[in-house]
């Protein structure tokens, strides 16, 4: 299983959740793929399809039946901002992947919003393309609120601002095992795994 990403944090999260389900899981670099797929689709699932297909097409000749590529795209959807930053989450503050600038822009946009109206959710859209098998698509979500200042040193992206009420922590205050037990990425992956089991 190849994860269509060069994001070390994302690869670690997914590998941790896939342990025991596949013989070998690796990122693009380990698979020898050096490419950057432009994520210009209008939806999270559209970006995931594009990434999965691009990487699969490069590797297809060397894959065995059932082997494949898993791609995901994640967005933070804030209710008070009409669902923004959404599909633009990684580039909210401009082109590139500047997490700190993205978080600052989000806090500035929510400066006048009261605590009770700062609800949000993460959504992860996943696409699995395998050789000789049907594609699998799934979207997982997790709901929380956006706090007013960053808390925690773990995670990446908007994790230090996303407060998850059931655990009384931001995602950045959780260790990897805690986050993997409740995250949007985990919820999407569980749907993918359920679809795989249903094929047997």
Give the residue extent of every domain in the chain. Answer: 2-199
With beta carbons less than 8 A apart as the criterion, state whether 89 and 157 touch: yes
Active-site residue, 73 included: yes
Q: What is the pLDDT of residue 25?
A: 87
pLDDT in tens, 18-42: 766 777 888 999 888 988 888 899 9
Residue % of the chain over a pLDDT of 70: 98
What's the angle, vertex CA 137, arms to CA 60 and CA 47, rounded to 5?
75
3-state helix, strand, coil in the chain (%, to 5): 40, 25, 35
Whether domain 2-199 has CATH 3.90.950.10: the reply is yes
In this prediction the pTM is 0.89
Question: Which one from 73, 98, 99, 108 is the annotated catalytic residue?
Answer: 73
Model confidence at 176, pLDDT cuts 50, 70, 90, reads: confident
Model confidence at 200, pLDDT cuts 50, 70, 90, reads: low
């Amino acid at each position: 299983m190849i994860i269509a990403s060069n994001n070390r944090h994302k690869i670690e999260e997914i590998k941790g959740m896939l342990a025991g389900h596949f013989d070998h899981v690796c990122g693009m670099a380990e698979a020898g793929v050096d490419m950057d797929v432009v994520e210009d689709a209008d939806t999270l699932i559209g970006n995931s399809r594009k990434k999965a297909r691009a990487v699969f097409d490069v590797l297809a000749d060397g894959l065995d039946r059932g082997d494949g590529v898993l791609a995901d795209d994640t967005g933070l959807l804030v209710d008070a901002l009409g669902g923004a930053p959404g599909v633009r989450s990684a580039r909210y503050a401009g082109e590139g992947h500047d997490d700190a600038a993205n978080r600052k822009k989000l806090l500035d946009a929510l400066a006048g919003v009261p605590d009770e109206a700062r609800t949000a959710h993460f959504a992860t859209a996943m696409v699995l393309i395998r050789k000789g098998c049907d594609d699998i698509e799934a979207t997982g979500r997790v709901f929380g609120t956006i706090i007013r200042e960053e808390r925690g040193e773990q995670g990446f992206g908007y994790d230090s601002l996303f407060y998850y009420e059931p655990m009384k922590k931001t995602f950045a205050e959780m260790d990897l095992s805690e986050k993997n037990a409740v995250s949007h990425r985990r919820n999407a992956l569980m749907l993918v795994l359920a679809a795989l089991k249903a094929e047997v």
